């Protein structure tokens, strides 16, 4: 293993960002208790509090940092990590020596431990247990799971999943979730040990309780890193392993399993019914089918009930009609479920019925929610395959009328061009639809019309300019249009830039100053094309005089060479 540092100052800057990196420069003198190990570097950095900081290098040369300051606990590479990294880089000359010393210390410790007698090692462990309550509890759990004390094992495993010691305000916050997850992982290991030590039957029962406990607590944990989800998956896998070993009563297991799958608390585990096929056998699977069908009939609109029915039908080779019935019992208002049914029918070789369902979805979609874009694309693609291009155009035309937008206009244009019917009345009609949907208003800042966007998208800039002049454009559309005509119509573009500079004179803030500078640069470009640079210089001088009290604006203008 190499002893050289695998990171550079630039790596620290990249990981931390410029702001945290620069703030880290002020903490170099606050680094203490530095310990350079083979792959891990630790230290204490004094800030608002004394923070424990750790840098770790992986075999590929990547660097990670952890700090128990609030910013670091949110997963950020903080200023304290930067300070530690820079301190270590400043001691590059002795890193190899310190890492070699760490390797030697580890080797020496291992040699010393191997030379101790059984009695000496036991005395050493007991000494540590007297001072470390967490270590004592972990070893007590291992002792219980390795022996026959299932009562103690159950108690310890469930206590490891108790969130109360970590929920300072009734909720496990992100800063505490990592420690809770590490503790909960011990519960997974203990369950597997129970199974491996010949107590699989007990492991089955305890795992059920553990899954229930974590499922109920999960909603009160900030699991942004997904660590608790990994623990939940581990619990589910430990339960399955125990079942495969113990082979509990298949019918009773099926009843528990289906109940667990239908419980909202199962969302965290993603337990899969068919993973238990071997455990359940035919009697258990038959009982599971009965329960799933009954649950679906009682609540055909339940997401889990529908999912389980779909999985059963597909796994058992059920008929497509039965699958369609499951989906048809709860049709989404945007037509998405119709699309799901259409795809199932098409996959079964029933293309005509598939298209009928898709067309039905278009008809039944609620106007404020649909139709689903994928459903529309499905129907249009099938029409095109059948050379029904006029039907594609008609559908796209109807959708534009129902929900006018630039995207709907573009879809209609593509369809009409494919059918050779765009230039002429089709385009004119589409533009009339967009115009009718807009409300003209002079000098509006927001909510410009799709009409102007469509005309610019068509590169019909003269018509777009006229629509904007008629009040159909907002500020951003005016500016986009000015940018596109600036080279050939600099005088018109200049009027737009100057018009939108004036309101900014009364505003403050960094974003406002940057926006004013951008508009001034565009205006200067127009004056250069017109050969009127002196006029722009006079305008800029007057503006700077008028705004001179805004020192940040003056600095921004200077930065842009204005």
DSSP string, 372-417: -HHHHHHHHHHHHHTT-HHHHHHHHHHHHHHS--HHHHHHHHHHHH
Do the beta carbons of residue 228 and residue 267 sit within 8 Å?
A: no
First to last CA, the chain: 56
Distance CA 504, CA 431 (A): 33
The list of the chain residues with pLDDT below 50 reads 1-3
For residues 74 and 67, the answer to whether their CB atoms sit within 8 Å is: no
pLDDT number for residue 177: 87
Contacts 24+ apart (CB under 8 A), 48-54: 51/80, 53/80, 53/81, 53/83, 53/84
Phi, psi of 41 (to 5 degrees): -120, 130
Instruction: Determine the pLDDT at residue 263.
Output: 87
- Structure confidence at residue 2 (pLDDT): 41
DSSP 186-253: HHHHHHHHHHHTT-HHHHHHHHHHHHHHHHHHGGGB--TTSHHHHHHHHHHHHHHHHHHHH---HHHH
The whole-angstrom separation of Cα 398 and Cα 403 is 9
Residue-level pLDDT at 55:
92
Measured CA to CA, the distance from residue 524 to residue 540 in angstroms comes to: 9
Whole-angstrom distance, CA of residue 98 vs CA of residue 84:
16
- Which positions ≥6 away from 410 have C-beta within 8 Å? 454, 457
Query: Looking at residue 289, what is its pLDDT?
Result: 93
Q: What is the pLDDT of residue 372?
A: 92
SS3 category, 46: strand
């Amino acid at each position: 293993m190499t002893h050289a540092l695998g990171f550079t100052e630039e790596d620290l800057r990249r990981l931390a960002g410029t702001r945290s990196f620069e703030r880290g420069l002020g903490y170099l003198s606050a680094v203490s208790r530095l310990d350079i190990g083979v792959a891990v570097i630790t230290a204490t950095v004094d800030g608002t509090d004394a923070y424990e900081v750790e840098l770790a290098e992986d075999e590929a040369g990547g660097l990670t940092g952890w700090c128990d300051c609030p910013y670091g606990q949110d997963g950020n590479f903080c200023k304290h990590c930067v300070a530690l990294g820079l301190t270590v880089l400043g001691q590059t000359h002795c890193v190899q020596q310190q890492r070699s010393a760490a390797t030697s210390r580890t080797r020496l410790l291992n040699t010393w431990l191997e030379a101790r007698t059984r009695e000496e090692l036991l005395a050493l462990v007991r000494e540590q247990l007297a001072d470390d309550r967490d270590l004592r509890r972990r070893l007590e759990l291992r002792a219980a799971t390795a022996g026959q004390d299932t009562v103690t094992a159950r108690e310890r495993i469930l206590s490891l999943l108790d969130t109360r010691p970590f929920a300072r305000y009734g909720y496990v916050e992100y800063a505490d979730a990592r420690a809770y997850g590490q503790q909960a992982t011990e519960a997974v290991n203990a369950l597997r040990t129970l199974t491996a030590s010949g107590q699989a039957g007990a492991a089955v029962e305890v795992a059920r309780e553990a899954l229930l406990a974590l499922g109920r607590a999960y909603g009160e944990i900030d699991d942004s890193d997904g660590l608790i989800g990994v623990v939940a998956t581990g619990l589910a896998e430990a339960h399955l392993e125990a079942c495969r070993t113990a082979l509990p009563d298949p019918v009773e297991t099926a009843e528990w399993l289906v109940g667990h799958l239908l419980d909202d608390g199962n969302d965290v585990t993603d337990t899969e019914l068919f993973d238990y096929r071997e455990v359940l056998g035919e009697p258990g699977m038959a009982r599971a089918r009965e329960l799933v069908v009954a649950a679906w009939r009682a609540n055909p609109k339940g997401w889990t009930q529908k999912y389980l029915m779909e999985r059963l039908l597909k796994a058992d080779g059920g008929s497509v009609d039965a699958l369609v019935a499951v989906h048809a019992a709860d049709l989404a208002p945007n037509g998405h479920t119709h699309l799901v049914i259409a795809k199932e029918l098409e996959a079964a070789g029933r293309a005509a019925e598939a298209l009928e369902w898709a067309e039905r979805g278009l008809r039944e979609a609620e106007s404020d929610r649909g139709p689903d874009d994928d459903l529309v694309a499905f129907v249009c693609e099938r029409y095109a395959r059948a050379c029904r291009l006029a039907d594609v155009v008609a559908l796209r035309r109807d959708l534009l009328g129902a929900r006018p937008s630039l995207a709907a206009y573009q879809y209609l244009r593509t369809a009409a061009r494919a059918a050779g019917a765009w230039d002429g009345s089709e385009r004119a009609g589409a533009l009339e639809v967009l115009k009718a949907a807009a409300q003209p208003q002079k000098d509006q800042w927001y909510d410009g019309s799709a009409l102007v966007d469509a005309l610019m998208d068509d590169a019909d800039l003269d018509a777009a300019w006229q629509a904007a002049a008629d009040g159909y454009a907002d500020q951003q559309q005016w500016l986009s249009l000015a940018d596109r005509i600036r080279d050939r119509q600099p005088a018109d573009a200049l009027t737009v830039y100057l018009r939108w500079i004036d309101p900014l004179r009364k505003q403050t803030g960094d974003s406002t100053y940057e926006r004013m500078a951008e508009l001034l640069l565009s205006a200067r470009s127009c004056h250069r094309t017109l050969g009127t640079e002196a006029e722009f210089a006079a305008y800029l001088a007057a503006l700077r005089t008028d705004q001179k009290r805004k020192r940040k604006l003056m600095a921004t203008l200077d930065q842009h060479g204005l």
